[in-house]
Amino acid sequence: MKQQCSAHPFILPVRVYYEDTDTAGVVYYANYLRYFERVRTEWLREIGRNHADMVREHGLMFVVRSVTLEYLKPARLDDLLDVGVAVANLGRAQVLLRQFVRRGEEELVSGTVRIVCVDMKKMKTAPIPEYLRETLKALQ
């Protein structure tokens, strides 16, 4: 089943460096999670809702609850990749994100990441603040 999400996801260009690859010059599979984290952080910053402000002003943060990835084709040393994120589903305290890595038009990695809003003091799930909910809702 294909996830519904914004037709215009946020894209971050990422160059593959030697440190990202294994001995065959292919991106090590776990590094795609780092790319996904990086694009989520920059996406929040772009929409004016960065992690530091959430923690400082509201005592809240997003944590990853689950990840599902499909590795379709390898990325290699020195490739220029587009790493993307889009809202697939917005819940009371959770956001399901569609994330991907592309080289040109070719999709290399596809997946979903479920993030959950957490109260830092209680370390428990908390509702997404209304100011952020409205922003995320507009991106669906």
Distance, in Å, from the CA atom of 26 to the CA atom of 131, rounded to the nearest integer, reads 41
Radius of gyration for the chain, computed over Cα atoms and rounded to the nearest angstrom: 16
What residues pair up with 86 in beta bridges, in sequence order?
98
Query: Taking the CB of residue 99, how many other CB atoms lie within 10 A of it?
Result: 27
- pTM: predicted TM-score of the whole model, two decimal places: 0.89
pLDDT for 8: 67
Distance, in Å, from the CA atom of 34 to the CA atom of 73, rounded to the nearest integer, reads 17
What residues pair up with 66 in beta bridges, in sequence order?
114
pLDDT for 46: 92
* Catalytic residue selected from 22, 78, 79, 119: 22
**pLDDT tens, residue order, the chain (140 aa):** 333 445 569 999 999 999 999 999 999 999 999 999 999 999 999 988 888 888 999 999 999 999 999 999 999 999 999 999 999 999 999 999 999 999 999 999 999 999 999 999 999 999 999 989 998 988 88
22 is catalytic: yes
What residues pair up with 112 in beta bridges, in sequence order?
68, 98
Contact indicator for 35, 83 with CB cutoff of 8 Å? yes
Domain 10-138 fold: Thiol Ester Dehydrase; Chain A (3.10.129)
